[in-house]
Amino acid sequence: MIKVWDIGFELHGQALVRDVVDRRGPERLKAWQSLLAAVAPHVERWATRNPTLRALRLTSEDEARAVLVKVVERLERGQHQNLRAFLEARGAVLGAAAQADEEGRALHRFAAIAVAAGLCEEDGQDDVQETPLRAWLKGLTGFAAQDHAASRLGRGNSMHTPGDTAPVDKRRVNSDARRITESDVGSVRPPITDLLTLKRIAGEIWSFAEKSFSPELQRALDLRLDDCSYQEIARELRLRSAGEAQQLVRAAKERLRAEFRHQQERFGIEE
């Protein structure tokens, strides 16, 4: 049974992080092993609930374990440099932009559009003030899930984000997954057809937004899909407050959900 991540668990986790960063030798190893034992079940659960992986039906135990491996690698990298960054910045993932490559972010955006339209389940938000380690680690799990999805799908060579005109840059990776080709279309459903379905869904939803939304409403949703905060959206759109930005985004999502949320069967999405 997974322990509830309450304040007590949070403080225990933060103490382990400090021990991993500050201690040496056997004491550091013991703290590191204890930290992994504590957070691993939560990371695997977050992976199974990740909207990108859910939309692509990559939610088996093996997929979650693969994401966990990526998270552990990132926590261990550079003598636990990410954990040091957490203690120093209390929530800033070191090199977050570099850790989720362009293809992974494109997959994330496809899934975020489907979530906004009510076609995929949205996970709850974290309290960054009360449980900053949980929120930070869950964000790191999201980056790892994006990278895993892109690797699992062979790093598709035609992945465009709806709303963008430039193709996504490609990079060489060490992956056993083969690249997606035209011959893959219509072959095995999981996971290749699911990627194509997700791209088609995102494109159709975004096309509806472009035709139906005001420029301000569309831009607010666009920024939110790119993980901008409501404060950032308010500044970009010159709104009076973050609350006004939140209302805009909520209105956009409500219109999308009214149009698409009951169309899972047409899109081939499982309830």
When mean pLDDT is compared over 20-29, 103-112, 145-154, 228-237, the highest value belongs to 20-29
pLDDT band at 123 (very low <50, low <70, confident <90, very high): low
| Distance of alpha carbon 31 from alpha carbon 19, whole angstroms | 6
Contact of 10 with 131, CB cutoff 8 Å: yes
Task: Select from 16, 37, 13 the least CA-distant residue to 28.
Answer: 16
Q: What is the per-residue pLDDT for 237? A: 92
Q: What is the per-residue pLDDT for 43? A: 94
Residue percentage of the chain with pLDDT more than 70: 67
Q: Is residue 244 pLDDT above 60, yes or no?
A: yes
pTM given for the model: 0.56
The residue among 266 and 169 whose pLDDT is bigger is 266
Task: Select from 94, 129, 135, 112 the least CA-distant residue to 225.
Answer: 112
| Distance of alpha carbon 271 from alpha carbon 268, whole angstroms | 9
Residue 164 DSSP class: -
Residue 119 DSSP class: S
Q: Provide the 3-class DSSP secondary structure of residue 118.
A: coil
Q: What is the per-residue pLDDT for 182? A: 31
Q: Residue 254: CB partners within 8 Å, gap ≥ 6?
A: none
Cα separations (Å) of 77 from 36, 74, 82, 83, 98? 14, 5, 7, 9, 14
State phi, psi for 266 to the nearest 5 degrees: -65, -35
| Distance of alpha carbon 45 from alpha carbon 49, whole angstroms | 6
